């Protein structure tokens, strides 16, 4: 784990109080000055007590500081996505310039891959989480969840057991407790590791295509947008990545595979159709990708 943020004199660790993040905090605090960041989503009764206990545990483990971050969780994208958005925003604001360690395990990676498969979100989603995605680092991404539980037992640590992890209303909970065990049984074991290997292989391919797309984006860009005549000559996988990079550079966010393919159709299946609304942080306006005069263009309109 020493290679994570080696150039930095300190780091932060996201601590929920659960076994994964508690085990990570125990190791991190022994290697480098560590600040524990504890996000209180305030979605459950007694969450403030859970956060206080986690803070006390962090300091007892040798963290130089432990901060409780209270957040307001919205509703956009559903409860799981909204909580994740609020959590990352709070962690990013509190970490300063230090790298942040996240306690995602190999089991979390397997669940993420299954979610991407089920939603048809494209290769980028199936490629899962990156071990290094500055400022976020996931040193446990190759470690099974059972190992972190065993580490807590060995260190005599009492982790918090999140009741949401047993709540069947949450998709990830059902994947964890129902779907993955069934797959392990039907396929004879090793499914989580196989899904993680699949993610790693797809991530390598995706990163290579992203590099190629970045070079092509410079070639097809013109003053008013993208040249569709040049775009259409590119291989599909590269072309859609060029479009994605262009949209992001233009202010788009939270892009879906469906939106990118919709913009791609403006190039490959042009019939004079209207523009495509894409993900954007704008509240009073929406971002529209359209086609005009052989060019892909990007503009905003009032909602």
Binding region for ATP:
16-21
DSSP state letters, 221-243: EETTEEEHHHHTTS-HHHHHHHH
* Residue stretches of the annotated binding site: 16-21
DSSP state letters, 160-210: ---GGGG-TTSHHHHIIIIIHHHHHHHHTS-HHHHHHHHHHHHHHHHHHHH
Sign of CA dihedral 84, 8, 149, 112: positive
- Spatial strand order of the sheet with 132-133 comes to 65-70, 34-40, 11-14, 100-101, 136-137, 132-133
| 199 conformational bin, left if phi > 0, alpha if psi -120 to 50, beta if neither | alpha
Distance (Å, rounded) from C-alpha 179 to C-alpha 164? 17
Axis crossing angle, helix 19-31 with helix 47-60, rounded to the nearest 10: 30
């Amino acid at each position: 784990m020493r290679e994570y943020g080696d150039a930095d004199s300190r780091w932060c660790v996201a601590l929920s109080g659960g076994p994964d993040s508690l085990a990570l905090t125990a190791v991190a605090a022994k290697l480098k000055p560590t600040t524990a960041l504890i996000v209180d989503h305030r979605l459950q009764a007694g969450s403030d007590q859970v956060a206080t206990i986690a803070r006390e545990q962090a300091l007892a483990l040798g963290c130089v500081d432990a901060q409780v971050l209270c957040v307001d969780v919205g509703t956009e994208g559903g409860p799981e996505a909204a909580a994740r958005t609020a959590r990352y925003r709070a962690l990013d604001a509190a970490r300063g310039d230090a790298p942040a360690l996240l306690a995602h395990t190999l089991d979390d990676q397997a669940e993420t891959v299954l979610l991407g498969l089920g939603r048809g979100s494209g290769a980028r989603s199936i490629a899962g989480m990156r071990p290094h995605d500055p400022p976020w680092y996931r040193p446990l991404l190759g470690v099974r969840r059972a190992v972190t539980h065993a580490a807590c037992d060995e260190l005599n640590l009492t982790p918090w057991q999140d009741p949401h992890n047993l709540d069947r209303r949450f998709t990830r909970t059902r994947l964890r407790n129902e779907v993955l065990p069934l797959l392990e049984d039907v396929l004879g074991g090793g499914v989580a590791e196989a899904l993680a290997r699949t993610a790693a292989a797809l991530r390598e391919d995706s990163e290579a295509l992203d590099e190629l797309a970045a070079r092509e984006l410079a070639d097809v860009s013109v003053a008013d947008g993208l040249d569709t005549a040049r775009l259409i000559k590119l291989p599909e996988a590269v072309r859609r990545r060029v479009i994605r990079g262009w949209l992001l550079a233009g202010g788009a966010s939270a892009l879906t595979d469906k939106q990118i393919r919709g913009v791609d159709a403006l190039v490959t299946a042009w019939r004079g159709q209207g523009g495509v609304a894409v993900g954007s942080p704008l509240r009073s306006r929406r971002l529209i990708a359209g086609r005009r005069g052989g060019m892909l263009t990007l503009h905003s309109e009032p909602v």
